[in-house]
Amino acid sequence: MATYFVTRHGGALEWAARHNIRIDHALSHLRIEEIQPGDVVIGVLPVHLAAEVCAKSARYIQIAMDLPEQCRGIELSGDDMERHGARLVEYRVERVRCM
């Protein structure tokens, strides 16, 4: 089992290090074909990719924050993430159907 931390943001890696989050692979882009049952994927993924992670019997853990509108779409530091209540929240996502 491996832990993948998916982010393009240095502040997120800084935040994870502060919280002693075990990371085996830090990636800027998830390669879903590498994910195995029991793996853990941490990041902020589009829902269809989160569903693919869960369909592989892996765990999806999202980095959640309470961001005000003016802070969206900008680079955040580890300190910024702390200020905005960054936390890890596990989700189970399942695709129901394709239309």
Query: Would residue 97 count as lying in a domain?
Result: no
Tens digit of each residue's pLDDT (9 = 90 or more) over 48-95: 999 999 999 999 999 999 988 887 888 898 999 999 999 999 999 999
What local confidence, expressed as pLDDT, does residue 71 receive?
A: 79
Number of domains composing the chain = 1
Of 57, 33, 43, give the one whose Cα is nearest residue 12: 43
Domain annotation covers residue 58: yes
Average of per-residue pLDDT values in the chain: 94
Burial grade of 73 (CB within 10 A; 0-12, 13-18, 19 or more): exposed
Domain contains 98: no
Angle at 12 (CA atoms; ends 61, 88), nearest 5 degrees? 25
Q: For residue 96, is pLDDT > 90?
A: yes
Show the domain range for 56: 3-66+82-91
Please state the three-class secondary structure of 71-87 as a single string: HCCCCCCHHHHHHCCCE
Predicted TM-score (pTM) of the model is: 0.92
